[in-house]
Amino acid sequence: MRIGVVGLGLIGGSIALGLREKHAVRGYDRDAAARDAARGRGLDVTDTLEAVLPADAVIVATPLGAIVPTLRALMAKAEGTILFEVGSLKRDVAALADTAPAHARIVGLHPMAGSTAAGIAVADPALFHARPFLVVPTSRSDDASMEIAGEIARELGGSVTVCSPQVHDRAVAAVSALPLAAAVALGRVAREASPIPFDAVAGTGIRDATRLASTPVDLALPLLAAPGLAEHIASLREALGDIERALGDEHALRGLLDGARPERP
């Protein structure tokens, strides 16, 4: 297949690197430095969005706020091309699809993998190996486009799950946005509470638990807009209250700890 990849950061760059051995991949990024860096990684890169066409499929991996405008621009010139996007939330793409021309084919993809690092320099074709890969149909998805979506996800090493845009966004609120919010809060509290400077005392436990707090702000802000996050934060507050109330009661604490173990991802 001829595949275009728009947005050559960590995710888009990793997708392009992961697909180029089996497909003719051409990339584009609006940032000239990113384009030059992608060329340095051996990718075929164009200097204009339109030049990723013609293609059998185009994968949009831009920041979340640019996904819908990019899809609109591609739809105007890409009849016959399947358009995929890998944004962390799907509600706006689903709304776009509902008003898209009848010939348009749009499918959401979301590899549940990443890093707090960013950019093509840290892109890795193995990033998605053995990771969940959500395939999210829209009103402009058909059997052929869904089949190709699954094929792309599996070629990148992902384990495919299909879900609706609404279910996707609720899941992301629970498994991505909530851990991010918890990491930000935990990092702040731990720094303020420690009687020794944080960097002098912090081991792998606290650093692992607060790693997501290092997520670039432009990526973190859209996640914190995930629907249902406020309710999840309230539930987390209640769960912390259960632990607080159990302090000093070994039996109660053991029950809470044992109950949490099977749920660890």
The answer on pLDDT for 115 being more than 90 is no
CB atoms within 10 A of CB 190: 15
* The predicted structure's pLDDT at residue 261: 74
Supply the pLDDT for residue 114: 77
Q: What is the per-residue pLDDT across 165-199, written as a single tens digit (0 to 9) for each?
A: 999 999 999 999 999 999 999 999 999 999 999 88
DSSP 8-state code for residue 2: E
CB-hemisphere CA count at 13 Å for 87? Answer: 31
Checking DSSP bridges between strand 105-111 and strand 132-137, what pairing results, if any? antiparallel
pLDDT at 216: 85
216 plus 96 within the same structural domain: no
Residue whose structure tokens are 């999840």? 232
Residue 263, pLDDT score: 57
204 and 238 belong to one structural domain: yes
Q: What is the total count of domains within the chain?
A: 2
> How far is residue 128 CA from its own chain's centroid?
11
pLDDT higher than threshold 70 for residue 86: yes
Q: Indicate if the pLDDT at residue 135 is higher than 90.
A: yes
Say if strands 57-60 and 105-111 run parallel, antiparallel, or are unpaired: unpaired
Amino acid present at 255: G
Residues 180 and 154 occupy one common structural domain: no
Kindly state whether residues 132 and 17 are assigned to the same domain: yes
Does residue 72 sit in the same domain as residue 195?
A: no
Co-location of 218 and 156 in the same domain:
no
Q: Are residues 159 and 173 in the same domain?
A: no
Choosing from 131, 163, 195, the residue where a domain stops is 163
Q: Euclidean distance between the first and final Cα of the chain, in Å?
A: 34
Question: Is the same domain home to 190 and 148?
Answer: no
Give residue 153's domain range. 2-163
Long-range contacts of 167-172 (CB under 8 A, 24+ apart): 168/89, 168/90, 168/108, 168/110, 168/134, 168/136, 169/89, 169/90, 169/91, 169/226, 169/227, 169/228, 170/227, 170/228, 171/134, 172/88, 172/89, 172/110, 172/223, 172/226
Tell me the CATH number at 139.
3.40.50.720
Band of residue 207 on the pLDDT scale cut at 50, 70, 90: very high
Dihedral class, residue 114 (left if φ above 0, else alpha if ψ from -120 to 50, else beta): left
Q: What local confidence, expressed as pLDDT, does residue 69 receive? A: 98
Residue 78 has what pLDDT? 85
